[in-house]
Each structure stands twice: as C-alpha cells, then as structure tokens.
Amino acid sequence: MLPSNIVDKIGKNLHLQSRHPLNWIKHKIQNYFQSGKVSSLTPFIFHDGFAPQVSIKDNFDSLLIPADHVSRSHKDTFYIDDDTVLRTHTSAHQNQLLRQGERYFLVTGDVYRRDTVDATHYPVFHQMEGVWVPRLKDLGAFTDPQKEVTKHLHATLEGLAKYLFGNVECRWVDCYFPFTAPSWELEIFFNGDWLEVLGCGLIEKKILENNGMPDDVGWAFGLGLERLAMVLFQIPDIRLFWSEDPRFLNQFQDSADVIFKPYSKHPCVTKDISFWISSDYHENDFYQLIREAAEDLIEEVKLIDNFQHPKTKQINHTYRIIYRSMDRTLTNEEINNLQEVIRQKTQELPIELR
C-alpha cells in the first residue's frame, strides 16, 4: 500500500501549474531545445502528461536494469502491485517512444523514490528526460557517430547550463547507468557544494536494437527539475516547491527572472534518536517512516553516530532529526508528541530503541 504522504502528491503535477517555479524552469528548458541550438534536424516533441503509474517492464526491464538491482527493491521504490510501480525516473518512457519511432523528445513528470531526508532530496520530485537519436545520414558520411553524438551531448548540456545560469561552475563525473554507456553526471557548484543535477550517456545499443533502430547511435539524459530550479531561483529547501504559502508562490507570479527572497526562517527543533539495528534494517525505511509521521516539518535526518559494541557486535545508530516548518514556529509540545509518534512507529522496524 502506498503511504498517505505519497498518495497526496499524485496528480498535483506541479510542473503543469502555471507560474509555479517548476513550470517556469520546464518552459525555459523547452525553449532552449526549441531554439534550434540543439538540433536543427527535427524539432523536439514535448510530453508532459504521462501518468506516473508504470509497468515494471517500462521502469526497469526494458532499461536493462538487472533483476537484483538495488533500485528495484521495495526499500527504494513504491510498488502499487506486482506489476506496477510509481515511476522512479522519466526514463520509464524512453522505450515506448523510441518504439513509436520518435527520435527527439523531452518527457517531464513527477517521479517517486524512498530516499534520504535533507534540503535537496524529496520522495516526490520532477524529472525531465531528453532523447536524441539522429538519423545516421544526418550525422554526415565520414564521421565517427559515437564521437559525434558524445560531443553533441556534452555541448547540449553545457549549453543548457549556460542558457539557464550564465556562467556557472560545472563538472562532469563518470558514472554508471544500466541503460547508457558511457555515462556521466553533471554537477553544479551551489551554496558552497557540488550539486548533482543530471545523469546522461549514450543509449545502450541493445535498447536501440530492441526498438527497431539497430544501426543508430543516440544520447539520453534525465535531469532533476527541482535541483535546477533551486540553482536558478536560489531556493534553499526542496520542500518549498510544495508550499502553498503565498509568500512563496507570489514571488513567481510575474516572471521567471527572479531570485527567491527567503522569508524569515523559523527556528528549528532538534531531537536525537538512538537504536540497535539488525541486519535487515534499511535506512530508507526509517526515513520514509519519519516522512509519513512528520511530513514537511522535517528538514533533515542525519546519522550522527554509528558504532559497534565491542562484545556483542551489535550496531548502534544515532540520528539527529531536525524539525523546522517553512511557514510557522513549531511548539515544543507538538515536536515532543511527534517524536513520540516516531519512537512508537519504529517498533515496525527491525531495531531496538535505546
């Protein structure tokens, strides 16, 4: 069964709400791809309305994600039934569109994951998938298609970063996805740290073969819309995208050229919790449990101590939970109550409270 804090988000489609920062940034990116800077060959097609309930085949199998891959686990993915999940990425739509013969497209949608709790991670967020598979004849006869497409991929995404941010510090990091090879992540320097904003690579040959394009070479990327919007508008906390507070939404009414002015930050309340874990304990279960209990009053959960008892070999985790509301001051009483609810709920986990 899906948790209530997740069910509540399905159908909100923030990227479709006009004047929402995610809608602004989506349009900016679409404009960039429409501008002819990326591909003068064939215009990109934009898909914004695919439902987030997808088959396991589309979300994992067709993307060559191995049966034992961690991302398939119930600890990472929200399952609806044995065949259906809430998509964990917009890559879930790659195969169907390629199969229909589409070669240049962007897919935007809400995606769902159990994940860590901090200012740049949220269990529901928005991704945009980009795919570019040129007709070989358009690449030119005597070129090395792999090299050409790689060059085009890097130029396209660096161009996008420049288009959105002007001069911003970027770096490429080699990485791995089962559906692209080689693969990279792009990071942007933001608020004193490197922030991962997208993953990309050359589409696995097998995927193109499976979809009737055996001789082609193409690229794909998947970017986090919140992450880019955080950089563009200087939004410090990912929870703000879900805020209905006019002090947030009104700042984006007139244009996309705004720097977010944080309204006064309310004080935080910090609580620690400590427990012995057993071998089938998984941190994401604890994070999801806190999300369900406290919803958007949670700013961050940090593992602050991890030690093994020298004799019993049992492992102890201590987490610091930082509670803060985006729009009001929390009372000690309500946080004490919440902390108690969380302590109670942890009885469902394979842990022993201290």
The contact set with ligand FA5 (CB under 6 A) reads 89, 91, 113, 115, 121-122, 125, 127, 129, 177, 180, 183, 196-201, 220-224, 226-227
Pairing of strands 351-353, 298-308: unpaired
Measured from the CB atom, is 223 or 338 closer to ligand FA5?
Answer: 223
CB 12 → ligand FA5: shortest distance, Å? 15
Rounded Cα distance, 17 and 257, in Å: 17
CB 114 → ligand FA5: shortest distance, Å? 9
C-beta neighbour count of 184 within 10 angstroms: 23
Cβ-Cβ contacts under 8 Å for 232 (sequence gap 6 or more): 21, 25, 28, 164, 165, 256
> 108 near 48, Cβ under 8 Å?
yes
Rounded Cα distance, 169 and 201, in Å: 20
Measured from the CB atom, is 21 or 222 closer to ligand FA5?
Answer: 222
Measured from the CB atom, is 72 or 113 closer to ligand FA5?
Answer: 113
Task: Name the 3-class secondary structure at 95.
Answer: helix
Pairing of strands 193-203, 351-353: unpaired
Measured from the CB atom, is 134 or 222 closer to ligand FA5?
Answer: 222
What does each C-alpha distance from 112 to 116, 146, 264 come to in angstroms? Answer: 13, 32, 30
Token duo for residue 224:
């986090």
Token duo for residue 78:
């929200």
Measured from the CB atom, is 129 or 216 closer to ligand FA5?
Answer: 129
> 326 near 241, Cβ under 8 Å?
no
Measured from the CB atom, is 24 or 184 closer to ligand FA5?
Answer: 184
> 77 near 113, Cβ under 8 Å?
yes
Measured from the CB atom, is 114 or 351 closer to ligand FA5?
Answer: 114
At position 68, the amino acid (one-letter code) is: D
Rounded Cα distance, 252 and 244, in Å: 12
